[in-house]
Amino acid sequence: MTENGSHQLVVKARFNFKQTNEDELSVNKGDIIYVTRVEEGGWWEGTLNGKTGWFPSNYVREIKST
């Protein structure tokens, strides 16, 4: 579950994204990311391979909500 108690959102990267700040998450096309926080403004926080950071929400598509 996420911080607000809702179900876990799982997304798949549609494009590569290279982090430019330490709090961002680099992703490659096809990566599966577990979303930990959804914020307005186009940036979501998620976990990939044990690392958590922010990524642009328009670079991913929802694959399931568990």
How far is residue 66's CA from residue 55's CA, in Å, rounded to a whole number? 20
Closest CA to 27 of 47, 8, 7: 47
Sequence spans of domains, the chain? 9-65
Q: What is the pLDDT of residues 39-48, one digit of tens each?
A: 999 999 999 9
Q: Residue 1: its pLDDT value, please?
A: 42
Decide if pLDDT at 66 tops 50.
Answer: yes
Give residue 65's pLDDT: 64
Would you say residue 10 has pLDDT above 80? yes
Confidence of residue 8 (pLDDT cuts 50, 70, 90): confident
The CATH number given to 9-65 is 2.30.30.40
Helix (H/G/I), strand (E/B), else coil: 58: helix
Residue 9 is predicted with a pLDDT of 94
